[in-house]
Structure 1
Amino acid sequence: MADAIPVAVVVDLLQAASAEQEIDVGGLLTDVELPESDATRIAYEVRRLRARADRWRRRGQELAALFSSARELVQLRDVDELLGRLVERAHDLVGTDVTYLSEFDAASRELRVRTTLGTIAPSFLGLRVPPGMGLASQVVEGRRPHWTSKYAAMTEAPHDSAIDAAVAAEGLVSLLGVPLLAGEEVIGVLFAANRVEHAFSPEEISLLSAFADHAAVVLQTARLLSRTQDLADETQRAYGELARHVEAMERSSEVHSDLTSLVLEGGEAPDVATALGRALRCRVTLLDPEQLDGQVADAVDQSRRSGRCSPAGEGAYAVAVLAGPTLLGALLLEEGEVRFGPVERRTAERAAQITALLNLKQDSLVEAEQRVRSDLLADLLSDDPDRHTDITTRARARGIRLHDRRSVVVVSVSADLRREAVRALRRTGGLVGEHADRIVALTPDPAPDAAAAAIHATVSRAVRAPVLAVGAGFQGVADLRSQVDAASACVRILPALDLTDAAVTADAYLPYTALFGPGEARVHSYVDHVIGPVLEWDAGRSGKLLPTLAAYLGNKMSPVATARALRLHKNTVLQRLERATELLGEDWQEPDRLFRITVAVRLAHLTRSP
């Protein structure tokens, strides 16, 4: 047959169709007698087969690279590192100028550029794409690839000025975006972009889409693994916290058992601190109210108001020991091996309550003893001579040697703090009691000023309020009552002298105590006799004349200084002084009368002060 082709030529033609390099098909048919049209047709089919083989070969290489990248990506667990490697592999596969990945936020419907490769503008990384804007939103909403050969001329999607500016700064012209899909959920968009106009071929779109499918699965898996690891870590932390809580509860139970035993076995307050420190493996100090100062005092005040354990510096806590409103002391805890949590703080609060209970129990015994001592002090201050019978012997029976008591201190505090003040003084071991709404304490200190200062300091620390303490020396039981009266008179006068928080002696204010002690009625008679008209004038009018006279006499009889002290105009002061002259007489500023008027004005001012 004339148109038959030898087998060898057929084999050469098949090899030419599958060869990687170009082979001259016409040369293979030179020795075969074929019509020209048949030879041309055979050459065309061989070239077509060769082009298809090249395409499948290239496709195979791309798929090999795709699966190789997928295998590499599967080994990654860190999400940030994975995103970077995804973009890097996509960049190598597609070969565009720029490749970047935008992460999709389902809550805000925004896309944010997370990772880029090939970019030069720093503003591009982190760029946010609002919902419905740009090519990226088309990819998200359609869940399929979208591309444009010229972004500036794109009309398929609305433009955003910020996005357009970022794209222009990067010099991007053509863009291809494919979705990263996890089931029906879009988790991001993978972009390939060129800085020249380019029409993306179906093969390029298909390759990037296939890679995106693999990448989405890997990325979603990495996210789930990361979330699982986070949950595992959180579970581990929860188990650790639970174990610590169980351990804390066991320690709390141990403390509760120890404290219950202390109460039943007659333990004392210091034993509570020992048991608490042993259970919490920390240092615990039991403080008296007098020992509180600085940051610890502030913490105890806060605990006193809240009833809770309060921070008292780094690694330290304080809890007030209370019996109703009365502060009995405080527990100071310093962290050791155990970190203080809620259970430890609640344990300390319960320990403070047990401490208060034991203190009250101990105080009840002390109170009984102190009642006997208070009765003894009341007998000492009584006017009834029968109550003085055998008083020295009775005092010695209570361990008190009256001849060793050298000073008496009269203390004045507000009524609601008096009980707490007495408790504080009784802890010092002195002979203390209440007399005529005052607190009276007998001390062995021979110096009344030192005795008053010590008593004032003790009470001030306990009540944290203004305290007046007046000391006086006495010689024997017979002299005690008169010295208490003198000190009490001094306590009553001190507020009128603008002293509300002080430790003084009665002798230092002897002129005042002499005037306002027994015979006070004579003082009123004297005042009425000397400045009675002024007092009557003030009683029936505005009551301004006596204060003006007091200021005038206290400012060296200077009308200007008096006006300044009273914050009045000088003419007002002069008018009041003229009125005083009418009431007291023209000679009221003569030396002798002026002296007596000055004394009367001062006495009237004192008696009228609260």
Structure 2
Amino acid sequence: MRHFLVALEKREQQMIRPQQEMQRSIALQQLTLEIASLAPLQQVLNRICKTVRSLLQTDIGYIALYNEEKQTITVRASSGTSPHLIGVEQRLGQGIGGRVVLTKRPHTFTDYPHEARRDPEVEAAIDYEGIISAIAVPLLLGSDVIGVLYAAMRVQREFTTEEIDFLSSLASLASVAIRNAQLYDQSQRLIRVHQQLSEAALQKEVVESVILTLSSLLSCDVCLLDASGQILHAHFRNTQLDAECISAIVRHAKSSIQTVSGQNSLFIEQSNHKIMCSAIISNQVLVGILATVRTAEETYDAIDRIAIERATTLLALAISTQEIQQMNKFYLRTALLYQLLFRGEQEAILGERAKHLGINLWKPCHLIVSMCMTHALPPSQQEIINRMLRSIQLTLDVARFPLSTVDNTCLVAAIPEQENLMARAEEMHALIEASLPQTKVFTVISEPCNKPSDYRNEFFKCKNALSWHERLGRDEPILWAKSFGLAGLLFDVSNMDAIKAFCVETLRPLTLAEHRHAGNLLETLKAYLENESELRATASCLHIHYNTLRYRLERIEQLLQINLNDPGTRQALRLALLLNDTFQFV
């Protein structure tokens, strides 16, 4: 009877084996189709785990993938377990899985609670799942290990050589499926990177949009620095860069410019951060540095590097475009002020051009004119000074100096009336003096320009005031155009010698008479003419007696040998007093 039962059992097994082989064959065919299909990595991993569990009739199937950089394997998918197993990490060489990666050979255990190769880092998770016995086979691609495939039971079970060989065969197919899925995920990430960064580059605020998008794609902190290390834009979630980090970023970025390399991005590892920085170069000049920051536990992969370099290219293009736009606006502003000062075009045309630049020419503005005194220099030296002034003009802040231009060793700027005029004049004067220390510079501030035609008139007054200032030997570096009043406008500075002679000849006797205690005759004459020759009004103005005034006027007639009742004489005296008040000849 016993022999009959054994024979019956063998026959039953012989009948079951073809069914199992057929099931395994169908499963292998399905896995082969999985390899040929394009599917996300996680979907493929889950499918493999379910296939292992079904074909080997085990309680659990799970996969751990190998991270070569960290030298660890991490459970990425499972079937028949709780979520606690996902994410469990094991170091290379530790436990069963770590040994499988090192030896590239299958390993089994039948009683894990008493297993000598237990790994303290993962045993809590294994015990939680109640795993007692298992097979672990390497996932191989050629000679490279990409992970470990497990089939496990919650009871003791002796796995046969046939089952181990079958799981190894299954692992070979699974390795190809996993690599294809990884490539598919990478391609999808690349597509997403290029699509989202390209969309960011089309936004109005390109720089901010690219930085925000890169931060979202890489799930890390991103910032843009200038060549000196100043943070221009940033999207920080958890990190604040200290001075040491910024200094390292700038140093590495500058060194990368001198290095001939296929990759523009550089990796910087510090105690608390892992930083990837990339130099942004426009016209062979370092215009910015893109930096991404992760914690010390996180890593960067090839897709991250591609995303960073793509963002760097877009930022370089955006910054270059901004520079071109700024230069276009700069030249338009320069041309506008030049036309206002020298061309005298129709106000409506100039006003429309200014409107496109956000400037209202009917809103009061003052001119600040800084002139380099270079009359004795040859034309070649004057041209060098003009170039220096144009360089200074480029550094002027448009918000404070909306319009500026350079002409004939003269830097001219127009600023709104509400600005601190003297502070702006001092700033511009200091810039020129610092750049041209050997050149004498004078700066003049105009009266308000209330309409386009005023700019040309006020510029003429400023240059005239500067000419008088220099001709009279005045030392004040900054002056107002109104300093020389009406006389400065009526008389040509080239005739100063004749003007001085006229004033001295007309008024000097009155100043000499003062030393003989005849009273302040110059002041008396001025008050007399200002009061239209009215004696009582003049006496009241000077706070002197009527007879004292009559005495002084007689004394003036004697000294100057004139008749104050003559209208022509009075007009000449008024002119002499006006010139003397302005230029202080006597």
TM-score normalised over the length of structure 1: 0.37
- When the two structures are superposed, what TM-score results if normalisation uses the length of structure 2? 0.38
Higher helix share: 1
